[in-house]
Structure 1
C-alpha cells in the first residue's frame, strides 16, 4: 500500500471515531444511568459535554496546531482521545465520566479538522473529489452507526465497551502515525494567534451550546437559558467585529463570501439536524413506547446507516454529471418522504419503519456524498484549513439544534398525550361507577404508566371483567396517544425539509451556472 493511501486511512479512522462518539451513547443512557445510579437528565451531560467542547474548541485548537505543526497536533489529539476513552470506560461516578468525555472531546476537536485538512492536502487539487467524498461519507456513516453500535455493544459486552472499543483503533492510529506521518520534518510556523478571536469563539459557541442543550430542562424563558443564549449572541457579534479587523483572524470572514461554501454550510447544519432527529428520537420510541430492548431499538436504526453507506459514494461520484442543486434537493425530498412515512403510521409497523429509515438515510447519503466537495473542493491554503474547522463546528450545531428542537417538541407532545389519556381514563372509569378510592387508584396507575420508562400492560387476571376491559381500552388509547406524539413531531417537520430542498435547489443550481460548484 502506498504511503499516501496509508496516511488517508489514518485520517479516515480519526474522523470515524470522532463522529461515532457523538451518537454512540444515545440508546445506552438508561443502562449507564442504572450502573452509575444517576438520572437521565444528569447523565445527558455525558452527551452534552462532548458536543459542547468539540464545537467550542475546534476552531482555536486547529489554529494552535498550525503553530506546532498539524501532524503533531493530530497525534496529540489522538492521544487525548484515547486517554479520555480509557477514563470514560473506567469511570464509577458521573463526574469521572464527564472528565473522561471532556478529555475525549479535546482530542476530537484536534483530530477531526486536522484529519480533514491533512487528507485533502495529501492529493493534488484535481484529484480531491474522491478523497473529499470518502471523508464526507465516513462522517455520515459514523454518526448514523453510533446508536446501532452502541446498542449492540451494550447488549453483548456492557456499556464500558462503548469507550474501550476506541482503544485498539487509537493504538492503530498512533502506530501508523509514528511510521507514516512526517512530523519530525514539520517546522513551527510563524502563526500569529488571534487570542481575542479564540476567546470569543469559545465563549459564544459554549454559551450557545449550553443554552440549546439545557433550554428544555431549565425552561426556554428562564434566566439561565436567556443568559446563555444572550451571552452567545453578544459573543458572536463581538467575534465577527474582531475577525473583521484582525490581521490574522481565527476564521477568515472571506470564507463566507465564497458562495459554494456558504451553501454547504447551510446544508451541513440542516441535514445533520434532520438525521439526528431520527437517530435520537426513534430509539426513544422503540424502547419507551414499543417496549423493545436496547438491541432491537438499535438494529431498527441500522437501515439508516446502510442507506448512507450505499448512496453517499454514488452521489459523490455523480456530482460531475448532475448539478449540485438537483442532488441536494433530491436528498432533502427523500428525507421528507421518510418523515411523512413515519408521521402517517410507519412507527406502528417494523417493515414500514425500515422503509422510512432507508428513505431518510438514503436522502442524507445523497446530500453528504457531494457536500464536502461543494464546500472545499476548490479551496487552498488558509481557507482550506479554516473551512475544515468551521465545517467541524457546523456538524455539531446540527445535533445540538436537533436536541433543542425535537426533544423539546417531543416532551410537549408527550405532555399533551398524557393529559388526553388521563381525561379519557377518567371518562371510562366513571361509567363503571366504582368507589372513589378505586377510581383514583386506576387513574394514578395510568398516570404512572404514562411516565414510566416503558409502557407495560397491567395484569388484569384477577380483576372483574368490565374493569379489565376498560383498563385494556385505556392502555390501548394511551399507547396510541404516545405514538401520535411522535407522529406529529415528524409531520410538522416535513414543510421545513421541503423548504430546505427548494432553497438548496435554487442556490445550488445558481452556483452551478456561475461556475462555483
Structure 2
C-alpha cells in the first residue's frame, strides 16, 4: 500500500515550467481545484484498492497473485510513463495532455467498475495507470504556469495539503462504499470527479508549453522501461506459483534484464532522454535516490499487506482498515512545515539518517502482533512511529534532490525521484509477495500436520493455497474443522506478514545507511549535471 502524498513531491517542476500564460486572478482558485481533484483521484486509487483486495478476492475467487496484478498493473504504467508524460505536456501543451489523462483515467475507471473478471480488471487498471502518468506531472506544471512566481509556493502548499487530506479520507470513504454498497462504486466515483475536472480545465486553465522543448519524445525509452519492468514484475510474481525453474519465469526474467540493459543504452544516446542518467553524476543525487528506492520499497511493499491482514485475519471492517493509516497521513501533514525546517537547522544528512531509523522501528513494531487484540494496542503505536519517521525524512529528501543538481535541471531531478519512489513500490510488492507466499506455505504445512482433518477437506484447502488468507472452507467441513483451519490459516498469514515487516525494517535501515555513506553533511554540494 503506497501512501502517495508521502512520496517526494514534484515541486521541482516549478522551476522547469514556463510562466508565460498566467491565468486571471479570478480563475486561480479553479485551477487549484482542477489540479487537486485530478491528483486526488490518482492518489486515492493508489490506496483505496488495497482496502478492496479482500472483496475482489471473494468476488472473483482470485488468487493472491491475481490481486497483486490489480495493484501492479496500475503502478507499472504509472511508474514507467511518468517521465515521458511530463515531457509530453511540455511539448504538446500541458492543459491538453492533462485533460487527456483525466479523460483516460475516467474511461478506465468505468471499465474497472463494470468489469466481469479479474483479468479485465487488471487491464483496466493498466489503462488507469497510463491516464495517471499523463495527468500527475501536469498538475504541478499547470500551477507553475498559471501562477506568478511570488504566489506559486503558496499554491503548491495548498495543493499538497488538500491532496494529503483527500488521500487520508479516500480509503475510509472507499471502505464504506465497499462494505455497504459495492467495491465497484470505489472506482465509479471517479467519473463525476473527472467530468468536473475536465469542465474546470477547459473553462479556467490556460494552455502552456515549454517553448524550449525540441526533438522527439523518448517513446523508445518509455516502451523499453514498460516492457522491462513488466517482465521483471511478471517473473517475480509468477515464480511463487510456477517456481523459479519454470521456462516462462526464466524467459521473462532474462527478457527483463535484456530490456533494461537496452533501455540504459538508449538513454545514454537519446538527445532528450526520459531518464537523464547524467544526473547521477551527483553523489548527493545518487544517494538520495538509493535512499528513496529502499525506503519507499519498504513503505509500498510492507503496507500493501496491512489491509489484507486487518480485514481477512484480524476481522476488521473495510472502513476500519481504510482508517487504520489515517494517523500516519495526518501526522505527516501536520509535521510537514516542522520537518522542512530541520534542513535549515541541521542540514539534510542528519534527518535522513535518523528518520529512516525511526521508520524501521515502526515497521518492526508491525511484526509484533499476532491474531487478535485491539488496534490501539497493536497497530496504532506502529503507525505513529512510522509516520513520525517518514515525517522527518520526506522534506529533507526532497530538498537534497533539489539541491544536488543545477536549478535548470530541478524539474527533471524531481521527476526522476518521483519515478524511483513509484518503481520501488512496484518491485517491492512483487518481491514481498514471494516472501509472503514462502512463509505462509511453510507455516501452513506445519499447522496442517497437527490437525485432525478429513482428507477431503484437507485437499480442498491445499488446492487453494494461492489465495493465502482468502482460502474458503468447504461447505461439508464441520464447525470444529472450520475453526481449526481458520486459526491455522490466520496464524500462517501473520507469519508471512511478520517476515514482510521485518524485511521492510531492514530496507529502512539500509536507506539510513545510504544517507550516512553517500549524502554530504552540508545542505549544498558542488552541483553536477
Do the structures match in fold with TM over 0.5? yes
Output the TM-score relative to the length of structure 2. 0.80
Question: 1:170: how far off?
Answer: 1.9
What is aligned with 1:406? Answer: 432
How far apart are the structure 1 equivalents of 2:28 and 2:92? 22
Greater RCO, CA 8 A, separation 6+:
2
Q: Within 5 Å, which residues of 2 pair with 1:283-298?
A: 283-298=307-322
Q: Which moved more, 1:330-339 or 1:255-264?
A: 255-264
Question: 1:440: how far off?
Answer: 5.4
| Contact 1:137 1:313 survives alignment (8 Å) | no
Q: Work out which of the residue numbers 32, 36, 48 in structure 2 matches 1:24.
A: 48
| Contact 2:444 2:488 survives alignment (8 Å) | no
Output the TM-score relative to the length of structure 1. 0.81
How far apart are the structure 2 equivalents of 1:63 and 1:241? 20
How far apart are the structure 2 equivalents of 1:138 and 1:372? 19
What is aligned with 1:418? Answer: 444
1:344 is paired with a residue whose SS is coil
How far apart are the structure 2 equivalents of 1:284 and 1:378? 39
Structure 2 CA distance for partners of 1:122 and 1:320, relative to 1, 3 Å: farther
2:409 corresponds to 1:371: no
Structure 2 CA distance for partners of 1:404 and 1:139, relative to 1, 3 Å: farther
Question: 1:293: how far off?
Answer: 3.2
What is aligned with 1:266? Answer: 290
Structure 2 CA distance for partners of 1:387 and 1:170, relative to 1, 3 Å: farther
Aligned CA-pair RMSD: 4.0
1:319 is paired with a residue whose SS is helix
What is aligned with 1:13? Answer: 37
What is aligned with 1:494? Answer: 505
Structure 2 CA distance for partners of 1:289 and 1:111, relative to 1, 3 Å: same
Q: Work out which of the residue numbers 205, 217, 222 in structure 1 matches 2:241.
A: 217
2:274 is paired with a residue whose SS is coil
Q: Work out which of the residue numbers 319, 323, 338 in structure 1 matches 2:343.
A: 319
How far apart are the structure 2 equivalents of 1:224 and 1:448? 22
What is aligned with 1:70? Answer: 94
Question: 1:110: how far off?
Answer: 0.7
Kindly tell me the number of residue pairs found equivalent between the two proteins: 500
Q: Work out which of the residue numbers 498, 503, 517 in structure 1 matches 2:514.
A: 503
Structure 2 CA distance for partners of 1:405 and 1:196, relative to 1, 3 Å: closer
Question: 1:108: how far off?
Answer: 0.6
**Rg: which structure is higher?**
1
Q: Which runs of 5+ in 1 are unaligned?
A: 430-437, 463-467
Q: Within 5 Å, which residues of 2 pair with 1:240-279?
A: 240-279=264-303
Q: Work out which of the residue numbers 483, 488, 500 in structure 1 matches 2:494.
A: 483
Structure 2 CA distance for partners of 1:452 and 1:171, relative to 1, 3 Å: closer
Q: Which moved more, 1:143-152 or 1:395-404?
A: 143-152
Question: 1:331: how far off?
Answer: 2.1
How far apart are the structure 2 equivalents of 1:419 and 1:510? 50
Question: 1:42: how far off?
Answer: 3.4
How far apart are the structure 2 equivalents of 1:52 and 1:207? 10
Q: Which runs of 5+ in 2 are unaligned?
A: 1-24
Q: Which moved more, 1:273-282 or 1:90-99?
A: 90-99
